[in-house]
Amino acid sequence: MAPFIFTQKNKIHIFDLYKTQPMLETACSFLRDVASAGGQIVFLGTKLQAQDIVETAAKKSGVMFVVKRWLGGTLSNFDEVKANRDKLKYLMKGQDEGSFEKYTKKERLLIARQVNKLRGYHEGVLEMEKMPQALFVVDAKREKTAVKEAIQAGIPVVALIDSNTNPEGIAYPIPGNDDAIKAIDLVVKTVAEAVAYGYKEAAEAKSSSASSVTGAVGRKVEVVNLKLEKKPEVKKGKKNSKSPKILNKSNKTNKVNKTNKTNSKRGSTR
């Protein structure tokens, strides 16, 4: 981390913000691209001064988060951990619907304890059905297990790293103080805004594509209706010889009726 340190006073390292800013912009650009492509992103910050900041920013930007404890195997043993998340969903659904009312009071108490325990591990990543496309970490040294799992799984890591952290393996390091609340708040909010903008772009692109598809379907329906509304053309050819014959027969019958009427009148006058 020596290249990113401006000076040292009273054994306190001061970062060179002229080097931190471009690295923060690069990290935000990467996360925005992931979000605009519809990728899943996880925010991780379990230290006390970062928990509320990370959770609030994650909820506003619409990403998953872990603020209590990173459960070992979340990425390296994904299927097994996903089974625990599915179990938590089942228990929570049963509590909401009252499916456990037939159980004894002791059994319901054990279920409630189990739900509270699993919530601490999985509440922020309850809807993670597949591996995320990026991981944002506050204090990479503290979250070394998560960083190691992400690197092994080939997931890019964006991390706020202090002077006591080795940035090796981290795809997008952000040099800065990961202990000060104001520094954490500034970096996390900046990253969250970039992610939220990316998800907004993805939603707009999806809505525009959906409207274009419906417009194309509407045009096809109009063409079909126009084809159906066309009157069948009358073929020009020989005249139908049957209709005149029918007319002639009717004319003959009319003439016979007229002659019969005149004859009857003449007979009556006589």
- The pLDDT tens digits of the residues spanning 109-142 come to 999 999 998 888 888 998 898 999 999 999 999 9
Which domain CATH number covers 40?
3.40.50.10490
Cα–Cα dist 167/21, whole Å: 17
Same domain, yes or no: 136 and 175: yes
Give 229's pLDDT tier (boundaries 50, 70, 90): low
The residue with tokens 């939603």 is 203
Give me the number of domains the chain comprises: 2
Read off the pTM. 0.74
Q: At what angle do helices 17-36 and 181-229 cross, to 10 degrees?
A: 30
201: nearest Cα among 74, 67, 13, 33: 33
Residue 242 belongs to a domain: no
Average pLDDT over residues 89-93: 91
Residue 235 belongs to a domain: no
Residue 217 belongs to a domain: no
**Predicted confidence (pLDDT) at residue 251 exceeds the cutoff of 60:** no
Average pLDDT over the chain reads: 82
Task: Indicate the residue among 167, 201, 235 that finishes a domain.
Answer: 201
Q: Which domain holds residue 117?
A: 76-130
Helix (H) or strand (E) holding 251: helix 242-269
45: nearest Cα among 64, 62, 68: 68
Q: What is the DSSP letter of 177?
A: -
Task: Indicate the residue among 151, 174, 201 that finishes a domain.
Answer: 201
Asked if residue 75 lies in contact with residue 146, where contact means CB atoms within 8 angstroms, the answer is yes
pLDDT tens-place string over residues 140-199: 999 999 999 999 999 999 999 998 888 899 999 999 999 999 999 999 999 999 999 999
